[in-house]
Structures are given as structure tokens and as C-alpha cells.
Amino acid sequence: MPKALRFKGDKKPKRRKRVAAEGADSGDDTGMNKPSTALSKKAYDSDDEGWIDSEALEDFTGPLLFCIATTPPSALSSDATGAVFGSALSEIEGENLSTAEPAQVQQVWVCAKIYGSTTPKYSLRAHTGKYLGCDAHGVLSATREAISAEEEWVPIPQPGSGRWAWQTVRGGFIGVEEKEGKGTVVRGDREDVGFRETWTVRLQKRNKVKVKAGGGDAGKIKDRVTKKELEELVGVSLDDEQVKKLRKARKEGGFHEALLDIRVKHGKHDKFAY
């Protein structure tokens, strides 16, 4: 079950203590039958708090923070109208992007894998619930309610840097440009990947995917699609029959066609999407 997004400085929720079972004070000195009345401090102050850099494609799930080295360091952001821009990172140590955390919900994007494609593709949803897209002119916006080709993103790792370039359906890359009087301008039509097109992507530690130790299939991460993920792709609630149909289409091919059929049925398609 997804946990609520918390920012740095927020108080941790209190955990209820376990109620001691009857007979716990029976005088048994062995301690074998005495239940624990509270979680240990170590369990409470677990290591899954805070944010961490992404290292693999499997990390791109749930809330993400996109950081880039500008002056001062910036985060990919969007406002209530769907405009996309770079906003200054305030929760950061110096200029070290690997210490950055979001200070406002505008800087957070919810990432989900798009199934049914040979190339790993992902969607990015803003705090408004709309998807990040890039039009033919390289203009970024977060205004679409459903995912079309313009809302699909391909992350490309940059060897040795721990950073990522994000490619559009037309082959351009998300990049930034600092303009006097306009702040940090973000566009999706950069032709080459350079310093201004590589992003440090941060995710919540608790969402970090851990690969099982061992070789072969034991060390692989299961590629599965949940009902919730399917509903996010379609944009409406699905019944069991529709979920079954989509999962079958994903296995056999034709996933996007089945997805489009349901979107059209519920009026979620956009004939101008492409």
C-alpha cells in the first residue's frame, strides 16, 4: 500500500504499542513467553526515511525528484496550470545534488512504467494528476489526463555519472537553459546530451527496489502490472473483466490497442494526442 508523501522536517507518526498478552506477568524469568510491548528504537528509526539517488530502471516508481546543476541547483517542477519550469532546490547541502529533497509538492513527479513496449518507457504525473508531455515544438507541459506517445519517456543512463537523460518520442531530450529575467527554462527539444541534459533522479528510500541475491531468475525483479497501475494508464476505474482483458493483451501483444478501446469507451481518448 503506498505511503503518504512526507517532506523533510515533518514529524514521524507515532506507532501504537502492542498490548501485552494475558499471562505475560506470570513470573516466567526465561522471557520466552513475554511478548514485546513496543517496537525497538532501531525498528522505529528505520533506514527507509529520506531520499536516495536512482541507480537502475527498477527505481523509477512512485514519487521522484529531478535535479540538475544550475545556479542555484534546480528541480523539474510544474504549477497548477501545467506550466513546466525549473525551481530552486532549498533542501540541499551546498550544490551536492545527491543530498537534495523536495521542499514543495510542485517538485514531485509520480513515475509509472508503461507496459507493452520493447523499450522501457515511463509516464510522469504531476501533483495535479496530469501527465508530463512534450509537443512537436519542444514545449513541456503537464496538462494531459491520459497517456499518449507524447507522454511517454525513455530514461537513458549516463555511464560513470549516476545521472540520466530523458528522451521524448521525437528523439529530443529534456534540458535546461538559464535566461536572465526568466529563470531556469526547461524544454524537450535538446538534440544532444550534455551537462544541461543530465538529471540526478532522487526517490524515496522506502521505494528503492532491492534485487534478490543469487543468479538466474532468483536475482531478477518480477515485471508485473497491478490493477492500480492499469487504472492510472486508463484514467478510470476498471472492473475485474477489464483488468483481465488488459493483462491478457499485454502477454499476447496488442496492449495499447486494448488500452485505447477502454479509453474510447469512457471518453478518455484524445484524437489530437499525436
At residue 264, the 3 state secondary structure works out as helix
* CATH fold group of domain 51-207: Trefoil (Acidic Fibroblast Growth Factor, subunit A) (2.80.10)
Nearest to 5 by CA among 80, 96, 103: 103
Give the sign of the dihedral formed by CA 250, CA 253, CA 256, CA 258.
negative
Q: Determine the Cα angle at 173 with ends 84 and 126, to 5°.
A: 30
The predicted structure's pLDDT at residue 18: 55
Element (H, E) at 74: strand 74-78
Strand partners, 80: none
Largest pairwise CA distance in the chain: 77
Please answer whether residues 3 and 206 qualify as being in contact, where contact means their C-beta atoms are separated by less than 8 angstroms.
Answer: yes
pLDDT of residue 13: 61
The per-residue pLDDT for 55 is 92
pLDDT at residue 160, rounded to an integer:
85
pLDDT under 50: residue ranges of the chain: 1-2, 19-45, 212-222, 271-274
pLDDT value at position 169? 95
The whole-number pLDDT of residue 9 equals: 62
Name the residue ranges covered by the structural domains of the chain: 51-207, 224-265
Q: What is the C-alpha to C-alpha distance for residues 188 and 177, in angstroms, rounded to an integer?
A: 11
CA–CA dist 98, 96 (Å, integer): 5
Count the alpha carbons within 13 Å of 128 in the hemisphere toward its beta carbon: 18
pLDDT digits (tens, 9 = 90+) for 74-98: 999 999 999 999 999 999 999 999 9
3-state secondary structure of 34: coil
**What predicted TM-score, i.e. pTM, was given to this entire model?**
0.66
Which residues, in sequence order, are CB contacts of 245 under 8 Å at separation 6+? 258
pLDDT confidence of residue 245? 86
